[in-house]
Structure 1
Amino acid sequence: MKILITAGPTREPLDPVRYLTNRSSGKMGYALAQAACAEGHEVTLISGPVSLPVLEGVQRISVETARQMFEAVQREIVGKDVAIFSAAVADYRPALIADQKIKKTGETLTLILEKTEDILGSARSVFGFTGYLVGFAAETEKLLTHAQEKMRRKGCDLLIANDVSQPGIGFDSGENEVTLCLPDAAPFSLPRQAKTALARELIAFISQQAVLKNSTR
């Protein structure tokens, strides 16, 4: 199968030396890409800025901002059988980017932020993607409530949720623990384990589900 995967954070510039970002290391997305490639799938990895090596056999496209990732996904999702959106894309960016470094002049600084492009939410409605769509949700509270609502709102076939408030898993960790939400089945969890091992389980499940979906079209 042809699989598209997004990974890592985005950086939204504030001025020439500063940006807004998050704690995503990209490890989960890269583990998924490696596992998919090992199973013989054709993998395109759209990656935000990370400190991870290029994976052999994987086509990596490097981006920095949410807008750049949106444009890359829109271009690369064409003809893909599966799209896995594991990147931690910024929800907001500075409305204005200063041409020069902002100096410390006052006691406070007010930033005006604007929404970034909704990449996962655009997969069906804007990009016209009809393949197997997988989203991720990193939550700190009400994990299942937020995950299932996101799954329905974004038109996902599968939503993978993890509680990043738990110590030792999620962002910038080598381990993760996730709950899988599907439109027509009860949620179920995969236990805490190395992201590389978890990725192999997820790719096996996603591949099976994608084949089932295609067979019922």
Structure 2
Amino acid sequence: MRILITAGPTREALDPVRFLSNRSSGKMGYALAEAAKEEGYEVTLVSGPVTPISPEGVNLVKVESAQQMWEAVQSLCKSAAPDIAIHAAAVADYRPKIVQSQKIKKRDEALTLELERTPDVLGSMRTVFGYQGFLVGFAAETEHLVENAMTKLQRKSCDLVIANDVSRADTGFDSEENEVILCFPSGNTEPLPKQSKRSLAREIIRRVATLAAEKEHP
């Protein structure tokens, strides 16, 4: 079975030395890649700039911006034909409309930035990339956790969305542990208790593999 996983943040350049980004560490996505490899699957990991070391035997594709991640995933959907795609990356929703060619100098007055939308990687899977496999998204939320996750699931035609509360210091960004809620198209939910990200990743991979097999052979 072939599994595509995205992980980490993206960086959207302001000028040659500055960028917009987020606090994603990539630990959950890398744990998923490691767990999938342990299960014997063929794993491709598309990663934004993070510090974790890629698990041995995983095909690592490094990217920086949302545009680069969009292009990499599009290419892999065609060339690698993954059976399962798990989008754990925290892709920036906006980028500067104009990237300055030189470092922006400090001024006395305020600085106003005009932002534009980045390409939607998860949202393009069905509509643009034509992906037909088992699609999993992550919903990193700070409020209305299940409601927002269900909206994301329906809007992006996912088979499963994994919701996690990133406002919590004990399970949010940079934490070694996580606690999530599985959200299904039926409207049902299933909480997975707080545990290490490595342990949680193993549980998620096994569950997703079972669900994908059931979808393919109902």
- Range into which the TM-score falls when normalised by the shorter chain: over 0.9
SS state at 1:191 partner: strand
Q: Residue in 1 aligned with 2:111?
A: 109
Q: Any conservation in 1 of the 2:171–2:179 contact (CA below 8 Å)?
A: yes
Q: Residue in 2 aligned with 1:178? A: 180
Shift of residue 54, structure 1, vs aligned partner: 2.3
Q: Describe the SS at the equivalent of 1:15.
A: coil
TM-score, normalised relative to structure 1: 0.98
- CA offset at residue 53 of structure 1? 1.1
Deviation at 1:26, TM superposition (A): 0.3
Q: Which of 169, 172, 177 matches 1:167?
A: 169
Q: Deviations over 1:170-211 (max 9, x none)?
A: 211111000000002510100111000000000000000000
Taking the aligned partners of 2:163 and 2:54, their CA distance within structure 1 comes to 26
* Corresponding residue of 1:152: 154
Could you list the runs of 4 or more consecutive aligned residues of structure 1 that deviate by over 2 angstroms after TM superposition? Answer: none
Unaligned stretches of 5+ residues in structure 1: none
1:85 and 2:94 aligned: no
Deviations 1:56-89 (A, max 9, x none): 0100000000000000000012311000000000
Instruction: Report SS of the residue matched to 2:188.
Output: strand
Distance in 1 separating the partners of 2:146 and 2:62: 32
TM-score after normalising by structure 2: 0.98
**What residue number does 1:26 align with?**
26
Identity %: 60
Please state if 1:187 is matched with 2:189. Answer: yes
User: RMSD across aligned C-alpha pairs, in angstroms?
Assistant: 0.7
2:76 pairs with 1:76:
yes
Residue equivalent to 2:40: 40
Q: 2:199 aligns with which of 180, 197, 200?
A: 197
Per-residue CA distance 1:3-56 (angstroms, 9 max, x = gap): 000000000000000000000000000000000000000000000000111210
